[in-house]
Structure 1
Amino acid sequence: MRDPDQVLDQIRVRYGKNWRDWLLHGTETDFAFALAAPSAQMIARDSEVVDRWLRVWRDWLKAHPSARLRTISRRTVVGTQEVFTHLDIPTVDDLVSLDHRLTDHWARADVRWTRLRALPNGVVVQRLRPYLQQIVDMADADFQILHDAVVWFTENPRSGLTIRQVPVLGMHTKWLARNRRLVLACLDVTEQSRADSGQSDEGLEQNDLDPLGLKALPVHVDVILADAADRALVGGLRHLSAPLAEIDALPIRPDTVVIVENKESAYIILDRPRTVVVHSLGNHLNVLSEINWLTGARHLYWGDLDRAGFTLLSRARTRLPRLVSVLMDPATLEEHKALAVEDETRADSPDPNLTATETAALAALSKQHGTHARLEQERIPLPFVFDRLRLALNTIGPDRP
């Protein structure tokens, strides 16, 4: 015999499996839930238990007048007994009213779906089905941004604006990075499948923005001209930050390019003939394939000794296959492990091109209980850094005379 709490569990399961279909295709009616009614033998044997079960359901029904209890008469050795066999509920609204969490969820889902269906582009039902839970879970402010963004992109499919120029209140780069696929689904825009670029939600690249008709800001590249002769070509500037096209057009031809993950570490690198430092690329490592003066030079990479650092190293090597790492080995980590901290950030897996030494260093970052260490490059003492950099720079020579 099922009591009201057990049947409510069944109702929650039924709702969880079907609410999307009810929302998209219309609601069912006349829900029925079997109560596992007692047999005649059980009534005769445990009449007190059965009477108590019947009272529980009668009391429950008084508090839920929209529901109905179906009955049947059982003939027993002690007489005829009427028992409940099913709980009948006429509509979805009556169904969700039995649990306040279902009531809130259904009301929010219904209102938001109604608003989306009223959008001028006419949303495609099946296209949005996988996103319905995300839509319902959104904060009210985020849903309003989504609604307004879909309206604006429908009316301006090829605006050529940057994200911040789009006049949708509350929409910014991080919001669009988190919700871009949902916006595209509401617009019924299909983008070509492509490999994950590793782009964070700090920014979106042009191929992310093309389906929305937007324009990405030009990627700026930071370089340090460590050769006085190169600096003379640009008015004596040592530190440059400019759009990729302008960096690519620099009249330089270095023998050695040192790629450094962080700005502070890049700034300590001393002058050296025919040497350029490229730093602070973050996830914009695709620029390494688009700077022509990198061709023919030898490439060094120095990043943090953490999981993200090795992922970035591997992605840089995907663009520059002859890339050599420095200060990213087990010995450096072991000697300075007292300076490491716990790494609580999420990290993507590296591309499958790490060397055996780099793989060993990455493995050495793992600690007990699933935690990981992180040794930021800035924390390594400068005498050690200068010694290893000098050794690496003197070991690798240019390909060209």
Structure 2
Amino acid sequence: MTRWTTPADVRAKVQRRWDDQTLLRALAAGEDFPAQDFPIRGPKVSEIGVDVGAVRDWIAALEDASRQGECFEIEWSVIGGREIGRNRFPTRARLTSYDQAWALLGAKRRVASYVEILELVSDLPVVRAWVGDHPLKSLDATDDWESLLAAYRWLAAARGSGLYLRTIDAPGVDTKFVERHRPVLGQLLGAGRRPSAFARDLGLAAKPDTVRMRFCPGFLGLPRSVTEATFRVDEIAGLQVGVGCAVVVENEVTFLSLDPPNDGVLLWGKGFDVDRVGALRWLADVPVWYWGDLDTHGFAILDQLRAWLPQTESFLMDRATLLEHRQRWGSETGPTSARLGRLATDEASVYTDLVTDRYGNAVRLEQERIAWGWATERLPYQRI
């Protein structure tokens, strides 16, 4: 038996126009209702006489769901023959008004909320356009729109001011509110969604990048008892700093465990934050060594650091170290296979082995798993 169209089928077809926002966008644009017209699959003539009761129930269910045209109109056709007589059967469902769609979907209250939002933003063309194009996202923030508009106006006025977001004093708005609604505010203001991009694109002050380092005695004229500090990158990058070399390591505990070079600095790279190290212009003309995890991302970070400091050499990222610690291998989550053009020949060979799973699936040797004696015997610099 062919499956007969049910009231749920009719509703599902209109629901798709709600979900893809066709109906609400048309409403926001002041357009006529985009008529919805669907065929109704019913019993074949040969099926009608098999179970007349089922046919009557099917017709009654469709008529009840239509609510005499309040939710949808039914188009009828006469079918039948000598055996069962000629009878009217529903053959199409048609909606010709917004009111019918909202009644069928049970969406009257949500539509009323959307209309209120449209009226609320009517004097802000950019916001009005966004609300018209993103009805469902707008409805998700139904209870917050007055505060959203206050935040929007404050941020638009503060664009380029260099202020920290913490200084926002819009009515009913604080930094937590802005953080929670950053995706919407970012779209309204043409700013990125990530915190740093959001602040940068609006010309606001962002949390400064910092770099943590340990150093030889007397670094920057500091007392000899001071052996470690965290500096703002924008403040220290351009200073005239006299060092003989730099060592960059991936892991924080390794950073704390190693002695700094006797004429330079030891820096915590923090993975892909290694760009902060690269921005230190006073490292451009001194030897730089990098020790990262022996996995695909470790080599990607090395490649990234060389974009800033091409003289960087790696250590303890070689095949001998990898194979010596076979019992300590782990598995890398989401390894990369990116083309890395700044690796030396031996580094590229190990990287290729990892990418192609030569030694096993997604093999990785984390920095902190390398035997300390093996590591300290192979350091390329003189320690304090």
TM-score calculated relative to the size of structure 1: 0.73
Q: How far apart in 1 are the matches of 2:340 and 2:147?
A: 39
Mark the CA change 1:342 to 1:61 in structure 2 (over 3 Å): closer, same or farther: farther
Letter in 1 for 2:309: L
2:305 is matched with: 316
CA-CA distance at 1:330 after TM superposition: 4.5
TM superposition shift of 1:221? 1.8
Shift of the 321–393 alpha-carbon distance from structure 1 to 2, 3 Å rule, reads: same
User: Partner of 2:101 in structure 1?
Assistant: 95
Aligned-pair Cα RMSD in Å: 4.0
TM-superposed deviation, 1:331: 4.1
What is the identity percentage for the equivalent residue pairs of Structure 1 and Structure 2? Answer: 21
* CA distance in structure 1 between the partners assigned to 2:178 and 2:212 by the alignment: 23
Question: Equivalent residue for 2:28?
Answer: 24
Is the contact made by 2:59 and 2:89 (CA closer than 8 Å) also made in structure 1?
no
In the alignment, residue 380 of structure 1 is paired with which amino acid? Answer: I
Structure 2 partner of 1:194: none
Which of 3, 7, 10 does residue 4 from structure 1 map onto? 7
**Aligned match of 1:352:** 340
Deviations 1:177-196 (A, max 9, x none): x935x323313x478xxxxx
Residues 101-180 of structure 1 aligned to structure 2 (within 5 Å): 103=107, 108=110, 111=113, 114-115=116-117, 118-119=120-121, 121-123=124-126, 134-135=137-138, 146-167=148-169, 169=173, 171-172=175-176, 175=179, 179-180=182-183
The letter of the residue matching 2:257 is I
Q: Distance in 2 between matches of 1:347 and 1:167?
A: 44
Provide the rounded CA distance (Å) in 2 between the counterparts of 1:84 and 1:2.
10
Residues 95-150 of structure 1 show CA distances to partners (whole Å, capped at 9, x for unaligned) of: 354456xx4xx855763574366245333555567755555557967x78755432
- Quote the residue 1:292 is aligned against: 281
Distance 2:264 2:285 in 1: 13
Describe the superposition over 1:72-107 as per-residue Cα deviations: whole angstroms up to 9, x where unpaired.
Answer: 22352343211111123353454354456xx4xx85
Total equivalences in the alignment: 365
Cα distance in 2 between the residues matched to 1:12 and 1:269: 62
Unaligned runs of 5+ in 2: none
SS of match in other structure, 1:48: coil
Uncovered stretches (5+) of structure 1, i.e. residues with no partner: 192-199, 395-401
Shift of 1:31: 3.0
2:246·2:261 contact (CA, 8 Å) conserved in 1?
no
CA shift, 1:173, in A, is: 11
How many angstroms apart in 1 are the aligned matches of 2:202 and 2:283?
33
**Offset of residue 35 of structure 1:** 0.6
CA distances 1:192-234 after superposition (whole Å, capped 9, x unpaired):
xxxxxxxx95x515xx524323112332222221x33x53732
TM-score (norm 2): 0.76
The equivalent of 2:223 in structure 1 is: 235
Tell me if 1:33 matches 2:38: yes
Separation (CA, whole Å) in 2 of partners of 1:350 and 1:303: 17
For 1:363, the equivalent position in structure 2 comes to: 355
Q: 1:366 to 1:155 in 2, by over 3 A?
A: farther
For residues 315 and 112 of structure 2, the distance between their equivalents in structure 1, rounded to whole angstroms, comes to 57
Worse-superposed segment, 165-174 or 74-83: 165-174
Q: Which range is displaced more, 230-239 or 356-365? A: 356-365
Distance 2:114 2:353 in 1: 50
Q: Secondary structure at the match of 1:71?
A: strand
| CA distance, structure 1, for counterparts of residue 109 and residue 359 of structure 2 | 47
